[in-house]
Amino acid sequence: MVPAYVRQGLFSWNLNNDSIIEQMHKPMLLSYGEQDRIALASMGKHIAGLARHGTLSTYPNVGHAAVWESPERFNRELTDFRHSV
């Protein structure tokens, strides 16, 4: 785990990459756990709104590690996404 003082320092950053995301042309799959306290599901919705070729997938009752907390669904969606591009 990252020490608390490091996480606190990360929160002091003021980054805005919206214009970069808007310019992306590659397909992307955005997988977010609705219970994630690190990468909030609201950020996934924000990024999906900016990404022209983005697909948002939210996982109820899942935190930061959808790949471990819901591996069957995660692997199925990732495989489907890979075949679609």
pLDDT digits (tens, 9 = 90+) for 50-71: 999 999 999 999 999 999 999 9
Model confidence at 79: pLDDT above 80: yes
Q: State the DSSP code for 70.
A: S
Residue ranges with strand state E in the chain: 28-33, 54-59
Tens digit of pLDDT for each residue in 9-66? Answer: 877 777 889 999 999 999 999 999 999 988 888 999 999 999 999 999 999 999 999 9
Half-sphere exposure of 33 (CA within 13 A, CB side): 17
- Give me the residue label for tokens 């919705």: 45
Name the H helices within 1-85.
4-11, 18-23, 41-50, 66-69, 71-84
